[in-house]
A and B are shown apart, each in its own frame.
Chain A
């Protein structure tokens, strides 16, 4: 299958690539959002731990 044929998907390019693309975006978000939340939580925990060690 040549690269052009691959992108064209036998004329069904819109359908196949929208499906795969949307799936990729959503599954990437499912990974990225918790990672951001983790950073947020880490920052908060660091702040409270610092405050504790200072008292």
Chain B
């Protein structure tokens, strides 16, 4: 076993991905929540297609965000509970690299399916077809940010017994910028204007989150254990 960080990264990705695939409900439950939560809005607000069409991007983004947040527990909890997280912290491999691996798997297993399901939700919320592409692109850029920033919150609360509500309190404020630009990009695009500004800002947030948040997550995990 070489000491290469890349090997460690690859092994961690492979391990987490295999574990996620074995526990099917771990990645299907967020999707069902996403669908169900989106379905609640037409039932609560009324089925008028014009109303739904106007708020569809916002509804889809908010529920995707909530679904991603609910799924965050899976990044660290089971490893924390059986002690392997402690072992990972103590291992000779750079811990931040391992954190990157875990976040990547979480995004692949949660974020990508959310993005892939969004056209169907756009359809039932009567979103115009031109918006679907924008929606998927905004979620493609946005969901990694959700995983990255979310991992900080989970890392801070993983040691707590009832961390769930506290997690939302910590993370939702941090999610607000990406939500504003993500849903805004779709709204602006549907209105006929140029949405590239929104997408560029989202890209900037992604780069910032990508470079900085795993450092914060790793530090938070060292505190939590």
Direct A–B touching, Cβ under 8 Å: no
- Which of B's residues lie within 8 Å of A, judged by CB? none
- Which of A's residues lie within 8 Å of B, judged by CB? none
